[in-house]
Amino acid sequence: MFIVIGIMFGGIAVGYVLRKVEILQKVGKPISLTIYLLLFLLGITVGSNPDIMNNLTTLGWQAFLLAAAGTLGSVVVAGLVYRYFFKERRAE
């Protein structure tokens, strides 16, 4: 897990250094398509795994709760970050 996070932060650093390179400005759509393909392939892998499919009712609720909690936490933190760092403050 730390390797994945390290690679992500390494990519952020390289992206920051190379942010003015023109070709990097045009990779948004190919990256989105690649992510969609990876999610589709993940779905195929999950659907073809008999252990997961046989325990879907139990795993489904746990996965739903984890996903809902993660989404709710992300929305709350994003709202706080927007409110305190990006929203213009009115002069009072």
In the chain, how many domains are there? 2
pLDDT in tens, 19-74: 888 888 888 889 999 999 999 999 999 899 998 888 888 878 888 899 999 999 99
Residues 30 and 68 in one domain: no
Question: 14 lies in which domain range?
Answer: 1-49
- Which of 92 and 14 is assigned the larger pLDDT? 14
**CA–CA distance, 49 with 46 (Å, rounded to integer):** 5
Residues 4 and 45 in one domain: yes
Residue 56 DSSP one-character state? H
Please count the other Cβ atoms lying within 10 Å of the Cβ belonging to residue 52: 14
Residues 45 and 74 in one domain: no
Please count the other Cβ atoms lying within 10 Å of the Cβ belonging to residue 59: 14
Predicted local confidence at residue 52, as pLDDT? 84
Q: pTM value?
A: 0.55
